[in-house]
Chain A
């Protein structure tokens, strides 16, 4: 089991490198995970996506599809890919402290 240390706290990760315990998540951990994914700073637009994803996860127990995300969060597809280059679905879920999305869309 992989463990990372964030501000002096040991955080467990699952096999995909996502947080093992969703309750470990907080904004500092999101910032640290973002840095690891090559996103140096989380802007308001990043937070909009992250918070929307967390909210959807609590409702459906899975991350939303990109289509749903772009329709409901107010961040369109182009911007989403700019905010989370190299794979928005997985990266945003990871930073939001959620497991890897289950869907194909």
Chain B
């Protein structure tokens, strides 16, 4: 099934983190899959749920605390203690959103709609729903279904699973 020499026909991508940089790789991978004609499923779990919670999806941010790869705008490494200064996270988030817009990367809500319109499945994790006391009405309207782990494996059959 996952023979690397074979062409990929289907892919399932799990998004488990809720920071901007935690969510985008999965969105870009799934959109890119559809652009190549590859079937794609997106599965949101744990803090990744924030990307499909209607009230939160427009306000994802970058973690500046404990992020050792963080750079200042002029390219110098940011001392990690700077990350705790009030406003740092929102500044870093603003910077990244600005750079992404330049590259024509859409905001989360628009990107998800684009991925859905491209024919990818968008699913929420049942356990995460229960754990965070969420209901269907809390989710973005484009979510196709709420799945158990077993349902997810059934949907993922026939292609690689990418965990992000």
Contact = CB atoms under 8 A, between A and B. Distances in A.
Interface in A61-78: 65-68, 70, 76-78
Contact of A104 (B28, B37, B110, B118): B28
B117 A67 contact: no
Nearest to B27: A105
Nearest to A89: B35
Secondary structure at the A interface, as helix, strand, loop or mixed, is helix
Contact of A90 (B36, B103, B110): B36
B41 interface: no
Contact of B117 (A77, A86, A91): A77
Interface size classification for chain B: 10 to 19
A103 interface: yes
A87 interface: yes
Interface in A52-105: 65-68, 70, 76-78, 81, 85-91, 103-105
A67 B31 CA distance: 11
Given A86-B37, A87-B36, A90-B36, A105 B31 contact: yes
Nearest to B105: A105
